[in-house]
């Protein structure tokens, strides 16, 4: 599985990403900001070192305060689809939103963060290591 290619993109296909190999981490975030950004009960995410990820297409960057300083979210300029987190050329790691995967079966979350903020109606996938807030 080490050289499996992971690929994905936004709703309209104008923004595409690819990475070689599995993500460094995979999970779901229930924080209020992720819920609002996604319009859902949580955001499924995958973490990649910046050098392992290739992103093509034009995005708009939205930054907001977060527990670790600033959260940077990138959306497609054409369709508005949320694609990845982080500032290209500045951050050494990016989160890719698992809903953008071409093959959704590749997403294998192991953690849940900000479980304290999880709405009662949002399911908690079984078997995850849960953190009440952001792990250290």
Q: Running DSSP on this structure, what letter comes out for residue 98?
A: G
Query: Does the pLDDT of residue 18 top 50, yes or no?
Result: yes
Q: What is the dihedral of CA 81, 84, 85, 88, to 10 degrees?
A: -110
pLDDT per position as a tens digit, 60-103: 999 987 777 788 999 999 999 999 999 999 999 999 999 999 99
pTM of the model: 0.91
CATH class of residue range 5-129: mainly beta
Contacts of 61 (CB under 8 A, 6+ apart): 72, 73, 74, 87
């Amino acid at each position: 599985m080490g050289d499996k290619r992971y690929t994905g993109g936004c709703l309209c296909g104008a923004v595409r990403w690819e990475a070689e190999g599995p993500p460094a981490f995979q999970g779901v975030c229930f924080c209020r900001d992720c819920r609002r950004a996604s319009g859902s009960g949580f955001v499924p995410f995958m973490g990649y070192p910046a050098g392992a990820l290739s992103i093509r297409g034009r995005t708009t960057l939205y930054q907001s305060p977060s527990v670790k300083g600033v959260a940077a979210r990138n959306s497609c300029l054409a369709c508005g689809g949320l694609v990845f987190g982080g500032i290209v050329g500045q951050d050494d790691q990016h989160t890719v939103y698992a809903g953008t995967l071409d093959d959704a079966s590749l997403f294998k979350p192991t953690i849940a963060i900000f479980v304290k903020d999880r709405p009662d109606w949002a399911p908690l996938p079984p078997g995850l290591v849960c953190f009440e807030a952001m792990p250290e």
